[in-house]
Structure 1
């Protein structure tokens, strides 16, 4: 398995609040997040469409876009023309991804296609709900925090985001994720055994 160090994924509400303060985001706001390169496969225009639908239902919402790439300027223009620049935060590449994720209420990953995205494992390890496109392998659904949706209409995505907001009681799923083989300590032992 493409595993992660589960010890790094401690949920820290106070750290999340600090991140929000840094970006002047209210404590009670809905924060949607996406982490990925700005390339066509990541489907950023659809992310913006989803977020516009979210704003219609909850104007107190923000979008964190972590990453960089060839399509970033195009997406910045899209955000500007939709007049939502004050709600979308382009963060570029960040070293402290886990810290930033502490401030996010729900992650979205509507990629056109993808293998097994680590961010889906990381989100579940942090107890953050994540919506992924149904073009991504079903292997990412390790817990009930992960849900797959088609990428033909942004409205169901927005509906899921709004319906999950505020209802997610934090549950530590790391033991379950470890059991499924996605902790690096377990994966390393398996690799060692293969070489032996």
Structure 2
């Protein structure tokens, strides 16, 4: 049996973590086992910890390199020397090159770099630019396999170097909700059955740009009185968004649900799924929304590879709020499953990952 060590940073309900858990659940664990490296700052984010341990996986906690990079190197070195790993699979975008370098120094022969985004979101300060160049050189020099969720995500991290696109696999059958399911979920949330529901799923962080989404919703609410906005996710900007909601007098119309495990059921009640992100690779929630046959309106900073079904629109972040309003509120609100979307089924992705692992 081969053991794969995943550098994740945290194991919450984010897209990259959910992607890897979808793979983990379906692979043959007699042939391969997963372990995960997380930062001590996120040791209390335990959404998947019990499940990982129940499947035979281990969770290793190390110092967050943002706080003390020297201690991080010491921690990772100690980990790699103490335990045996056949493969390292790095999903940390900024700084992943350091993980692959340390893995090579400790004799791990297969070292995978996996890009899930189109940028790191660290800004362009002089120190960050220098570190970005150094980490990228380490990544390209010490990686043996390069994977990306989309073409844009691959080019952003690997440049002209060859890489393999690995689809963010999801279990498509989980998203076949019924009208009764929708009514039950609306009742549970206290949302009127005739509401026009705009949905968003993502961490409450700068990258996800929910501040703009709330401004857009303010415009929509003036013309479509039965509108509701449901935002699923948690993050450091929660209090700031709550203040914005109160300022706009939308406390009764915007639901901040926090992190949830009933994503398919929540998608089922949305009329439109909207993302105003500053950047994304190929967001898994975009695939899930299409598997739920929902209309999507996305910022044009999100990979165009996300469009796997007909009813997906892209809007510039520079566009007036009225443009967003029109795109979101204009019918049709349904969508169709396509042959292309079917290639994103997790069974397909598991087979691809196992081939990359050499199993």
TM-score, normalization by structure 2: 0.51
Partner of 2:39: none
Q: Secondary structure at the match of 1:102?
A: helix
For residue 103 of structure 1, the aligned residue among 252, 256, 269 is 269
2:333 pairs with 1:168: yes
Greater RCO, CA 8 A, separation 6+: 1
Q: 1:37 & 1:115 partners in 2: Cα distance?
A: 15
Alpha carbons 1:131, 1:149 under 8 Å: kept? yes
The verdict on how the C-alpha distance between 1:12 and 1:44 changes in structure 2, with shifts beyond 3 A counting, is same
Q: Secondary structure at the match of 2:330?
A: helix
Q: 2:230 & 2:334 partners in 1: Cα distance?
A: 22
Partner of 2:311: 145
Partner of 1:77: 243
Q: Post-superposition shift, 1:23?
A: 2.5
For residue 156 of structure 1, the aligned residue among 294, 300, 323 is 323
Alpha carbons 1:5, 1:184 under 8 Å: kept? yes
Q: 1:127 & 1:26 partners in 2: Cα distance?
A: 21
Q: 1:104 & 1:37 partners in 2: Cα distance?
A: 18
Q: Post-superposition shift, 1:31?
A: 0.3
Q: Secondary structure at the match of 1:127?
A: coil
For residue 187 of structure 1, the aligned residue among 349, 356, 359 is 349
Name the larger-Rg structure.
2
How many aligned residue pairs are there? Answer: 191
Deviation by residue 1:25-66 (Cα, 9 ceiling, x = unmatched): 222210001101110111111000110111111011101010
Partner of 1:177: 341
Q: Secondary structure at the match of 1:148?
A: strand
Alpha carbons 1:120, 1:146 under 8 Å: kept? no
Structure 2: stretches of 5+ with no match in the other structure: 1-166
Q: 1:193 & 1:150 partners in 2: Cα distance?
A: 38
Partner of 1:2: 168
Structure 1: stretches of 5+ with no match in the other structure: none
TM-score, normalization by structure 1: 0.92
Alpha carbons 2:300, 2:316 under 8 Å: kept? yes
The verdict on how the C-alpha distance between 1:169 and 1:92 changes in structure 2, with shifts beyond 3 A counting, is closer
Q: 2:204 & 2:216 partners in 1: Cα distance?
A: 16
RMSD over aligned Cα atoms? 1.5
The verdict on how the C-alpha distance between 1:147 and 1:156 changes in structure 2, with shifts beyond 3 A counting, is same
Q: Post-superposition shift, 1:183?
A: 0.7
2:176 pairs with 1:29: no
